[in-house]
Amino acid sequence: MNDMGLVVVGAAGRMGQTLIRTIHAMPGVRLAGAVERAGSAHVGHDAGELAGLGKLGVAITDDPLPAFAKADGVLDFTAPAATTEFAGYAAQARIVHVIGTTGCSAGDEAKIAAAARHATIVKSGNMSLGVNLLAVLVEQAAQALGPEDFDIEILEMHHRHKVDAPSGTALLLGEAAATGRGISLGEHSARARDGHTGVREDGAIGFASLRGGSVVGDHSVILAGTGERITLSHQAEDRAIFARGAVKAALWARGRKPGLYSMRDVLGLSRAG
Ligand SMILES: NC(=O)C1=CN([C@@H]2O[C@H](COP(=O)(O)OP(=O)(O)OC[C@H]3O[C@@H](n4cnc5c(N)ncnc54)[C@H](OP(=O)(O)O)[C@@H]3O)[C@@H](O)[C@H]2O)C=CC1
Ligand SMILES: O=C(O)C1=N[C@H](C(=O)O)C[C@H](O)C1
């Protein structure tokens, strides 16, 4: 089979540049296009030069549709408004859409699910192998250690530029804990505490977010019992772990029937029985 042609949208971003370098380094894929928003100073420049690779002969464009028409897939780590728009275009072009963007609203998720009727979409709040394995462990721990004995709190820290909270990963880990407990995260999460909060609500899954410096992404799931505490954690040291996962997801999705898939589908990580 030919190398899979991938378009990177948000090509000038932190993840966009990492994706361009990762595509260049991985077998089975090639950079087919690079997209930035209209008005970006990067439009017209070579994507390889922007990513520190030297000239690749792929100019950054602000016109996604012609780029998608010549590609097999799109890697999208941008922003919710852009991602919902790209989902429509990817469905139109019938190409794979790998979505790493976080901070999507319920309305955004509905638009993405609608696009997945025509496109093969892989979406995850975290594309790394480590975090997706951690989610399996969290699900198992939450199932084994019930709410009468253990409280679950999720702590995350990210760089000063991050715009959404809790992180997509924290929510993914919260979903895993809720699944393990057989409850709905929406009905059992404590998202912010300030002032006179009263005592902790029984069975709640709590979230706390820290922002600062250049932290790539730290996550801890704390199961706090009386007299003992278990902490399951992951530290991302390099954005390449997310980019490699995204490329792996695109290759996995190629030729697969339309639908909305997760990284756990891609990695074959089973759910707790
Ligand atoms: N799932 C995962 O594994 C991971 C997810 N992420 C998520 O990925 C997203 C991006 O993160 P990061 O790279 O750090 O952010 P950046 O802000 O560095 O990059 C986002 C890029 O997308 C561009 N962009 C925004 N809107 C459009 C548009 N309409 N058309 C084209 N380009 C657009 C931005 O341009 P401009 O600057 O002009 O707005 C920017 O270049 C976040 O939601 C983050 O949480 C990050 C890492 C891993
Ligand atoms: O914005 C980031 O940087 C990251 N975002 C993702 C998230 O919201 O969890 C994944 C990773 O932690 C980095």
Q: Rounded to the nearest whole angstrom, what is the distance from the C-alpha of residue 137 to the centroid of ligand 2?
A: 20
Question: Which residues does residue 236 pair with via DSSP β-bridges, in sequence order?
Answer: 217
d(CA 273, CA 267): 17
**Enclosing H/E stretch for 260:** strand 259-261
Range 225-230, long-range pairs (CB < 8 A, 24+ positions): 225/145, 225/149, 225/150, 225/151, 226/149, 230/141, 230/145, 230/150
177 ligand 1 Cβ < 6 A: no
24 catalytically annotated: no
Which ligand has the shortest distance to the CA of 7?
1
Going along the chain from its start, the domains and CATH numbers come out as 4-123+239-267 (3.40.50.720), 129-236 (3.30.360.10)
Ligand 2 atom nearest to 102, measured from its CA: 8
Question: Is 168 marked as binding a ligand?
Answer: yes
**Enclosing H/E stretch for 223:** strand 217-224
Question: Is 148 marked as binding a ligand?
Answer: no
d(CA 212, CA 157): 8
Q: What pLDDT is recorded for position 192?
A: 86
Q: Rounded to the nearest whole angstrom, what is the distance from the C-alpha of residue 65 to the centroid of ligand 1?
A: 19
pTM over 0.95: yes
d(CA 84, CA 190): 28
Give the pairing of strands 189-190 and 205-211: parallel
Tell me: the pLDDT tens digits for 172-202?
999 999 999 999 999 999 998 999 999 999 9
Single-letter amino acid, residue 184: S
The yes-or-no verdict on residue 223 having pLDDT over 70 is yes
Which ligand has the shortest distance to the CA of 89?
1
**Radius of gyration of the chain measured on its C-alpha atoms:** 19
Which ligand has the shortest distance to the CA of 158?
2
Question: Is 213 marked as binding a ligand?
Answer: no
Q: Which segments within 161-224 are labelled E, that is strand?
A: 189-190, 205-211, 217-224
123 catalytically annotated: no
Tell me: the pLDDT tens digits for 7-37?
999 999 999 999 999 999 999 999 999 999 9
- Of the residues 162, 188, 219, 234, which is catalytic? 162
Structure tokens at 46: 């070579």
User: How high does pLDDT run on average in the chain?
Assistant: 97
Ligand 1 atom nearest to 39, measured from its CA: 38
215 ligand 1 Cβ < 6 A: no
Q: How confident is the model at residue 96 (pLDDT cuts 50, 70, 90)?
A: very high
Question: Is 125 marked as binding a ligand?
Answer: yes
Distance of CA 156 to the CA centre of its chain: 15
- Of the residues 123, 158, 219, 234, which is catalytic? 158
Structure tokens at 234: 């992951």
Q: What pLDDT is recorded for position 163?
A: 98
Residue closest via CA to ligand 2's atom 12 equals 217
How many other CB atoms are found less than 10 A from the CB of residue 70?
12
Q: Rounded to the nearest whole angstrom, what is the distance from the C-alpha of residue 147 to the centroid of ligand 1?
A: 37
pLDDT cut 70: percent of the chain above it: 99
Tell me: the pLDDT tens digits for 45-71?
999 999 999 999 999 999 999 999 999
